[in-house]
């Protein structure tokens, strides 16, 4: 990795490796500028259930891994479906583990909700990221309804409007990262 590489950490709310949300992350990663290294966080499903009594800086190894990955990233992208009109439990659990450490406070972030509808989960994520103090720039939040009509069985984003919207989200996130980083 080059010294000037911008590190983006992607968190996926779906635990299914062939999900539409994984396809969106793969599209973003494949189409990011050459200076961007986009890494999918592996291990959301390994986090223990959130317990405020155990939320300490030297928490469980899986929690430490999440917090370190977020801290080392220049920005974070969350891409998630909506389950039962809300944020999937595994993703919400991961985000809860960042409260005490402040890992997301001031961190440039993008939020993508891709589902059949997704409106309620998207609104909830915007509230969660506000509570966590993350910096979600204008244009870095995207709701992709009817996602199954926009990704084919091979995991390719086939809808041109969605492809362009994803690129705009990445541009907005990179703009926020560049605004946050000190000038050389």
In the chain, domain spans: 6-180
Nearest-angstrom CA–CA distance, 36 and 85: 33
Which of 104, 107, 101 shows the shortest CA–CA distance to 57?
Answer: 101
Q: What is the pLDDT of residue 12?
A: 97
What is the value of pTM for the model shown?
0.93
Could you tell me the pLDDT band of residue 56, with boundaries at 50, 70 and 90? confident
Q: What's the token pair of residue 145?
A: 């309804």
CATH architecture of the region 6-180: 3-Layer(aba) Sandwich (3.40)
Could you tell me the pLDDT band of residue 137, with boundaries at 50, 70 and 90? confident
Which of 145, 45, 122, 59 shows the shortest CA–CA distance to 91?
Answer: 45
**Average pLDDT rounded to a whole number, residues 64-71:** 95
Statement: residue 10 has pLDDT above 90? yes
Nearest-angstrom CA–CA distance, 17 and 7: 22
């Amino acid at each position: 990795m080059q010294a000037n590489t911008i590190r983006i950490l992607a968190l996926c709310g779906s635990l299914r490796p062939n999900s539409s949300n994984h396809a969106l992350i793969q599209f973003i990663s494949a189409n990011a500028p050459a200076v961007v290294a986009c890494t999918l966080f592996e291990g959301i499903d390994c986090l223990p259930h959130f317990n405020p009594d155990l939320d300490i800086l030297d928490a469980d190894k899986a929690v430490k891994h999440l917090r370190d990955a977020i801290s080392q990233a220049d920005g974070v992208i969350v891409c998630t479906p909506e389950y039962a009109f809300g944020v999937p439990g595994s993703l919400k659990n991961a985000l809860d583990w960042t409260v005490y450490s402040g890992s997301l406070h001031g961190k440039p972030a993008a939020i993508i909700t891709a589902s059949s509808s997704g409106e309620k989960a998207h609104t909830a994520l915007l509230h969660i990221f506000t509570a966590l103090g993350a910096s979600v720039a204008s244009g870095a939040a995207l709701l992709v309804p009817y996602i199954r009509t926009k990704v084919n069985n091979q995991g390719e984003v086939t809808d041109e409007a969605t492809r362009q919207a994803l690129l705009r989200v990445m541009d907005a996130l990179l703009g926020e990262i560049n605004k946050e980083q000190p000038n050389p």
